[in-house]
Every structure is written in C-alpha cells, then in structure tokens.
Structure 1
Amino acid sequence: MAIQQTDDGRWKVDVEPIKGKRFRKTFKTKGEAQRFEATCRAKVIENREWSPSTADTRRLSALIESWYDLHGHSLRDGLRRRKKLDALAKRLRDPIASRIDPQAYAHDRRVRMEAGASPKTLNNELGYLRSVYNELRGLGVIKYENPLALVKPLKIQERELSWLTNEQIAELLESIRNGCDNPHVELVAMICLATGARWSEAERLQPGSIRNGVITFSRTKSGKVRSVPISPELEKKITKHWKRYGHFTPAITSFRRALARTTIRLPKGQAAHALRHTFASHFIQNGGNILTLQKILGHSSLAMTMRYAHLAPDHLRDAISLGPHAAQVT
C-alpha cells in the first residue's frame, strides 16, 4: 500500500522507497499525499539517510526554557527577562511556538497597554520574545522563521528630558543634607551630577574605582568600562567619606524622599536619572562637545547623545539670527 483513503475521508501514505526505510503520514487531500510519496521516493534515492522532518509542536514555554539554558543565563538581566517571557507565555495560553498568532500577541499587547503598561515596556517584551526565536534559530534548535518578525514595535512619543537648574540643584542638596537618614545619598548624588553617571553606577563604586582624579565605572548598562575625570576636591571628599562610613549602600529610596520634600517636580521615571540629564544639559550649554559627551555618558550611539544638542549655545543663537523673525526686525 502506498496511498489509501481512510474511513474518515483522509489520505494515508505508507511508502517504503528502499528496504528498511519506511514512512507513514496522513493528509487531508489526496494531492498532498501524492506529493509526500513522490518526495520520499526521490529524496531517499538521492540520500539514503534522508528523513522527512516532523512538525515542531513544542510549546512557547519550552522554547523559553531552552533559550534561557543555552543563552539567557549568560545575560546580566537574563533571569528578569525569563520571568517576563514566562508571564507572556502564560497570558497567551502557552501556544505551540511555531504557530504563535501575531494577532493574539497584538491583542495581549493592547490589553496590557490599557492596563497601564508603557509602550517602552511592551516594546522591550517584543524584543525579548523575538530574541528567543532568533537565538534558537541561530543555534539550530528551531528551523522555522520568527513568527513575530513582521510585528511592528509601538511608536513612542519622545519625552522631554528633565534637568535641574543651579538653583534647583542647591535646593535638592539642601534637602538631602537636612533630612536624609542615609549618609551616602548626598555623595552619590554629587557623583552623578559631576560625571553624568547613572545612580546604580555611582552606588557600585569601590575604592579602586578612583585613581589620580579619575573615576572608572564598570558593570555599566552597555557592559563597557568608561572613565571620567573629577575634581581633586570631590576625590578627597569621596575618600574621606568612605573612611568614615564605608562603601556606598543602596540609597535611592532616601534620595526620592529628599526630592519629594523640594519644590522640584519631575516626570514619572526621571527622579535619579534627572541628575544624569542635568550633567549632560549643563555640559552642552557651557559649550561642551557632543562627541566628548557621548564618551562621558557611555552612549553606544551618537543618536542618544544628540537629544542634548538643541541646548548648545550656538544652536540657540541660530534660532534668533536665522529664523524668519530676524528679517522683520532689521
């Protein structure tokens, strides 16, 4: 028997092109069955070891587990990513990974956005999920294309970067000095203001990180080490502080409380990060070079640093001298 119709109307293929090489499969139509039989006969004649591939019915959760075992565990935020991916698989009812429905994913994304998830968070999750497929395909774990390859990220409205004036900086430091129970808050804030460091980068500094007037930041967001010079006064202050209080301990909560006691109001999510924006903004306004700023901040792309370019003095003067209003007042 090669092709035979079953009682339920389907077509069963039972073919043995060569002795010991037998293939069986059932199809909805006779044409599909005939094509399968012809393929088996031709392929086995060309290569005796050939065998038709079976459908990949692994669930999304199984692929996430494989991704974490083979790649995700090596990422700094691998465990955090896996938790988000596991939650996503659960919301989608753990579909067969090769057949994940882009529309079902898009619907889940809409529901999550209406529940308060930010577009940036949702775009990050889409990137994580795509990475699972891309990494596993590169490793040969799966053979099919990424089923979400054509799903577009959400468009994000760029937010204005908040930065502090000199008066606001003075008000913030005064609030820190007068009301913080954590002795490290003021110095961590000063390091961020002096170097453009992220709060977490400043908190992780060790005595060996400061030498000859230069702070070296490691374990950064980009994974690259970068060094930024500081004033002798700040270096002495840091050294003296560590001798008295020891290494920095987590102080972000105390910083937020100090900020809340001021008249400063910042957009959601820009509390400690506003210190980094403040350094960059003042650097550019005082005539700093945009390429130098990129190196100081550790941006991998100049496009990230260009967000501050509009603050350059020349840029502001051009708005006055080159705009259409200039012709009207001469």
Structure 2
Amino acid sequence: MIKPLPDGRWHVDIEPVKGQRHRKTLATKAEAKRFESLMRVKYLKNPEWNQSAKDKRHLEDLINRWFLLHGQTLSDGLRRKQSMLGVCSRLGNPVAARLSGQVYTEFRSNALSAGSAGKTLNNQLGYLRAMYNELARLGEITYPNPLSSVRMLKLQERELSYLTTEQIPQLFKSIRNTCELPHAELVAIICLSTGCRWGEARSLTPDRVKSGQVTFVNTKSKRARSVPISKELSARIHRHFNAYGLFTRCEPAFDKALKRSGIKLPRGQSTHVLRHTFASHFMMNGGNILTLQKILGHATVTMTMRYAHLAPDHLREAIGLGPLTGNVLADIFSTD
C-alpha cells in the first residue's frame, strides 16, 4: 500500500509474501512505486519466497485435493472433477503452478477445431478457475490463479425450446403408448406443473407432498423450495406411491417416448424441455418474472430473464413503444 503523508512524502507498506513486511518513506510517489515494484520483483526471483516455484504439484494432484477439501460438498462436484481430469489429461497433466493462460488458450483452440462445443469448453474453464480460487481461499496454494486472465468464449445464445399446447398432449399420448413402467408419465406431469427439474421430481417422497404443495430438496442451488400443486395432482401422486412405490429411474423411457412422438427438439434438450415449457407458458400467460424466479429456484433473476421476452406486455411494448408508431408509421406506409 502506498499513501501520502502530511509533510508531502509518501509511505510504502507492503507484504510481498506472508510474514515479510517492508515499510519505507520516500520523497515522491514515483520513488514509492519503484520501491514497491523492486521489492515484489525481488521476492518473485527468489525461489525461497516464490511459492509458485516451490509448489511442484501437478494439476491432477490439485484437482484431487480440491475434491477432497471442497468438491465433494457440491451437488455436481464429482461431475466437475471428472470434467477437469479430462482437461488435465489432454493438457499432459502439467505442474499446476506453471499452467499459463497462453497454454490453456492454445489447448482450447485445438479443442474447438476438433469439434468440442463452446459451452463445454466454457464450463471447463469455469471449473478450473473456481478450483484455483477455492484452493487459494483455503490457503492450499499461494500463487495467483493462472487462468484468471483467460476470457470465456462468446457464444450465440441458444434459443430455448418449449412444447406448444398442441405438442403437450401429443407427448403424453406417446408416453402412454411407449412406456411399460408408469413412473415417466407422472414425473413428466410434475415437471410441467411445477417447473422443477426431472431429478427433483423423481426424488420426491410421500412426506414432501402435503398441504397442497411439493417440496424439493437436494436441488442444484442446495436450497429447498416448495411449489403449490392442485389437489387432484397431490391425490394422484399419493395414489401412485401407494400402488407402485417411489419413482425409479425413468429418463430412458421418457427419451424413447419423446423420440416416438415426432417432436423435434434442439440437441441436448430432452427432459429439460418440460421445465422450459412451464416457464415459457407461465410468462406467456402473464406471470411475474420474480415469482417465476422463486418457483424455478434460480439464485439470481439473470437466468430467469431468458423467459422475459415471452411476456405479453413485453411484446406489446415492442409494438407500442418503438420509433415507428402512430403518425410516423402511417406516413411511411402512405409513401408506398
């Protein structure tokens, strides 16, 4: 830290490494800055104090350490670990402290050329950066995050698909004709009724369906949330549990029924289209964006805003508040 003194001089107080503090008062600010830079360079060049030079652990070691200290507490921690280990292997498992932004961007460029999806590469970069940051927070590493300067790829936002009012009965007809087990149909109904994720619906138990609402736990955000449902749906869920027991893994049955229905969806969307369908129809029917955020369980409204353009008021404003309104538009048309 550099700060001015009442007598016009400048005081430097820096701690390049923990436990090594230096203070000095100099005549000018420029001299103070030079002293600060000199001391930082001195420690960077000295292997006794340069922690990145001393830390010889490879990236795989850090990934495993991160998972032990933090990753296993995350709902998707194991998936993140496997994703990072895949990147680690393709990078040749370098010394973690020596990984640089240049090395990583070259790897990413080659991965893009080989056909890797941009979103996948952004996810991997996010996981690795978060890993370094978390280990630094825990005091496990003392050097700067080597990937902090690497920017995410700018991707074209993917259009959210949803089922129309004509496609919904088409899908359920296919489910009834395709699925041998009864679970897929009711899980799909719960998703369409509450906007929940498929896994959240499938993990429901009888004690979480009561008082006119369902309560989802073990969610992606780690926060339990409750969503109201109709009496008819509540009764049907309990009848189902009494007759067939808890839901079992039925995603493959849904995927098969979706394929047979003839409904075409963008790549990577299957059960998640039910959540998009709830959110899209909620907004098209005049729902409030903040209410939708709570129903979906989004930590911030940013993610929920993807559905805002479907609101009727939003569409009306596009027509009524744009520059081509009233007499202006009439004048333009009159010149045809």
Give the TM-score normalised by the residue count of structure 1. Answer: 0.81
Alignment of 1:230-245 (within 5 A): 230-245=229-244
Using a 3 Å threshold, how does the CA distance of structure 1 residues 235 and 53 change in structure 2: closer, same or farther?
same
Tell me, what secondary structure is at the counterpart of 1:166? coil
Go from structure 1 to structure 2 and tell me whether the alpha carbon gap of 1:329 and 1:234 turns closer, same or farther (over 3 Å shift): farther
Cα gap change, 1:229/1:256 in structure 2, threshold over 3 Å: closer, same or farther?
A: same
Aligned to 1:303: 302
Question: What amino acid is aligned across from residue 280 of structure 2 in structure 1?
Answer: S
Contact 2:162 2:277 in 1 (8 A): yes
Query: Which amino acid letter does the alignment assign opposite residue 210 of structure 2?
Result: R
Give the Cα separation in 2 of the matches to 1:149 and 1:53. 19
Tell me, yes or no, if structure 1 residue 101 matches structure 2 residue 100.
Answer: yes
Q: 2-side partners of 1:289 and 1:150: how far apart?
A: 38
User: Which residue in the other structure is 1:4 paired with?
Assistant: none
Match of 1:43?
Answer: none
1:162, 1:267 within 8 Å by CA — same for their partners in 2?
yes
What's 1:32 paired with? none
The answer for the alignment partner of 1:66 in structure 2 is 65
Q: Provide the residue aligned with 1:127 in structure 2.
A: 126
Return the offset for 1:213.
0.9
Q: Deviations over 1:272-309 (max 9, x none)?
A: 11111111111111111111111001111111111111
Structure 1 pair 283–67 and aligned structure 2 pair: CA distance change class (3 A)? same
> Any idea what the Cα deviations from partners look like across 1:64-101, whole Å, max 9, x if unmatched?
22222222222222222222222222211122221113
Partner in structure 2 of residue 254 of structure 1: 253
The CA distance in 1 between the partners of 2:321 and 2:308, in whole Å, is: 17
Report % sequence identity.
Answer: 54
8 Å CA contact retained: 2:59, 2:95: yes
TM-score (norm 2): 0.79
Offset at residue 112 of structure 1 (A)? 2.1
Aligned to 1:207: 206
1:285-296 equivalences under 5 Å are 285-296=284-295
Give distance in 2, aligned partners of 1:308 and 1:53. Answer: 49
Instruction: State the AA in 2 paired with 1:265.
Output: K
Q: What's the secondary structure of 1:149's corresponding residue? A: coil
Residue 35 of structure 2 is matched in structure 1 by: none
> Conserved in 1, the CA contact under 8 Å of 2:286 and 2:311?
yes
Amino acid at match of 2:263: I
Q: 1:163 and 1:81 mapped to 2: Cα distance?
A: 28
Aligned to 1:183: 182
The answer as to whether partners of 2:75 and 2:222 remain within 8 angstroms in 1 is no
Describe the superposition over 1:185-243 as per-residue Cα deviations: whole angstroms up to 9, x where unpaired: 11011101100011111111111110111000111111111100000111111111111
Shift of 1:53: 5.5
Q: Displacement of 1:58 after TM fit?
A: 2.2
The aligned residue for residue 284 of structure 1 is 283
Q: How many residues align?
A: 284
Find the structure with the greater CA-based Rg: 1
Amino acid at match of 2:203: R
Partner of 1:5: none
Alpha-carbon distance, 1:102 to partner: 1.9
Counterpart-to-counterpart distance in 1, 2:289 and 2:76: 30
Tell me, what secondary structure is at the counterpart of 1:142? coil
**Aligned residue runs from structure 1 range 86-235, under 5 A:** 86-235=85-234
| Structure 2 residues not aligned, in runs of 5+ | 1-37, 332-336
Amino acid at match of 2:277: T
Return the offset for 1:321. 2.8
Q: 1:321 to 1:86 in 2, by over 3 A?
A: closer
Change in 2 beyond 3 A, CA 1:170/1:53: closer
> Using the alignment, how far apart are the partners of 1:101 and 1:304 within structure 2?
31
CA contact (8 A) 2:97 2:146 kept: yes
Give me the whole-angstrom Cα distance separating, in 2, the residues matched to 1:188 and 1:251: 9
| 1:110 CA drift (Å) | 2.0
Deviation at 1:115, TM superposition (A): 2.9
**Partner AA of 2:305 in structure 1:** M
User: CA shift at 1:329, angstroms?
Assistant: 4.1
Does the Cα contact within 8 Å between 1:320 and 1:326 map onto a contact in 2? Answer: no
After the TM superposition, which of the residue ranges 229-238 and 54-63 deviates more from structure 2?
Answer: 54-63
CA distance in 1 between counterparts of 2:239 and 2:146 reads: 57
Is the Cα–Cα contact under 8 Å of residues 129 and 145 in structure 2 kept in the other structure? yes
Asked if 1:81 corresponds to 2:80, the answer is yes
The alpha-carbon deviation at position 325 of structure 1 amounts to 5.5
Bigger mean CA deviation after superposition, 272-281 or 312-321: 312-321
Please give the alpha-carbon distance, in whole angstroms, between the structure 2 residues aligned to 1:246 and 1:296.
27
- 2:28 aligns to what? none
